[in-house]
């Protein structure tokens, strides 16, 4: 395989999901539909929360922010892919690829931290209900949102610094529909050990730390629920968490598979599917999962 010096790499080529021209209309319709449903679904959540004063609570404030971030997350990848299918162009410039990758990591990491913040919100509501309003005051809520955005900006900066250290590429064909960091790292000429170190660093920052916070919150929640004598009471209390648990499993399961699994045995095809799950499917399902009837009683 021919090696390209970084100074001569001006563009990358997306391989996408299929090279068959007959499948292009199907992919175009599928991705456009998922994008529109995701944007409209999350916009409906934003509008509903904004217009109803009864929903001006910490839980819905975090959900409002998560919905906005999900729109930004899917908008950083899918529109470029859809336009590429429409114009029969699979090319993205080197600078454009780095910009797309950086913004994707910004919104993905922010999304990850917001899920952690929402887990903490549920922990306070279930384990300390009498002090919920005092603990989850507006100042703390804004601070938690800013912390989530700051973590995304930190990941964004680390992504840029890592990209600037890349000296050469083995190929310019990306086996994905966007500039996924794990896919781009696989194309570099860097030593396998360096690739694994960078991959694990991304996985730890992007998945391990936030997931540890979520796990601790739910450990405390489950411990508190086990003290409730009534099974009906336990179910009613945990029913406010099931949608969040579903999103966490879907999001972090695919994220860990992409960044930590690829360090052990890389597979472009499996990596592409995992990337699709956390970059498109999770934002798509968020509005439906978070608007379940049982969650309406949580405040």
Look at residue 5 and tell me whether its pLDDT is greater than 70. Answer: no
| Residue 298 confidence (pLDDT) | 45
Q: How large is the average pLDDT for residues 249-270?
A: 63
Q: What is the three-class DSSP state of 91?
A: strand
Return the beta strands (E) in 100-223 as ranges. Answer: 168-169, 173-174
Q: How many other C-beta atoms lie within 10 A of the C-beta of residue 42? A: 26
Distances (CA, A) of 204 to 10, 209, 211, 260: 31, 6, 9, 9
- Cα–Cα dist 160/183, whole Å: 15
* Exposure letters 2-22 (e unless 16+ CB within 10 A, then b): eebeeeebeebebebbeeeee
Distances (CA, A) of 59 to 98, 115, 202, 216, 274: 34, 11, 28, 19, 28
- What pTM, to 2 d.p., does this model score? 0.86
Which phi and psi angles does 166 have, rounded to 5°?
-70, 130
| Residue 165 confidence (pLDDT) | 67
Which class does domain 12-167+174-297 fall in?
A: mainly alpha
pLDDT band for 1, please (50, 70, 90 cuts): very low
Summarised one tens digit per residue, pLDDT across range 204-231 is 767 778 889 999 999 999 998 888 888 7
Look at residue 296 and tell me whether its pLDDT is greater than 70. Answer: no
């Amino acid at each position: 395989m021919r090696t390209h010096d970084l100074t001569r790499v001006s563009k990358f080529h997306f391989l996408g999901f299929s090279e068959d021209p007959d499948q292009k209309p199907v992919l175009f319709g599928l991705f456009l539909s998922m994008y529109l449903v995701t944007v409209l679904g999350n916009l409906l959540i934003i509008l509903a929360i904004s217009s109803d004063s009864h929903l001006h609570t910490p839980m819905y404030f975090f959900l409002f922010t998560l919905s906005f971030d999900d729109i930004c997350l899917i908008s950083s990848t899918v529109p470029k892919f859809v336009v590429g299918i429409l114009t029969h162009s699979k090319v993205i410039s080197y600078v454009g690829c780095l910009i797309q990758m950086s913004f994707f990591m910004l919104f993905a990491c922010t999304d990850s931290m917001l899920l952690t913040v929402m887990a903490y919100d549920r922990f306070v509501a279930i384990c300390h209900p009498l002090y919920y309003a005092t603990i989850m005051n507006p100042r703390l809520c804004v601070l938690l949102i800013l912390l989530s955005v700051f973590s995304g900006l930190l990941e964004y900066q680390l992504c840029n610094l890592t990209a600037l250290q890349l000296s050469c590429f083995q190929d310019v064909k990306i086996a994905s529909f966007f500039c996924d960091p794990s896919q781009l790292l696989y194309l570099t000429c860097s030593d396998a050990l360096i690739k694994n170190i960078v991959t694990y660093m991304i996985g730890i920052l992007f998945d391990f730390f936030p997931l540890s916070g979520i796990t601790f919150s739910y450990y405390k929640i489950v411990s508190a629920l086990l003290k409730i004598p009534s099974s009906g009471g336990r179910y009613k209390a945990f029913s406010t968490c099931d949608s969040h648990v579903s999103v966490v499993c879907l999001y972090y399961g695919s994220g860990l598979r992409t960044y930590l699994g690829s360090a052990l045995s890389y597979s472009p095809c499996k990596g592409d599917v995992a990337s699709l799950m956390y970059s498109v499917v999770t934002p798509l399902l968020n509005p439906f999962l978070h608007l379940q009837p049982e969650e309406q009683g949580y405040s």
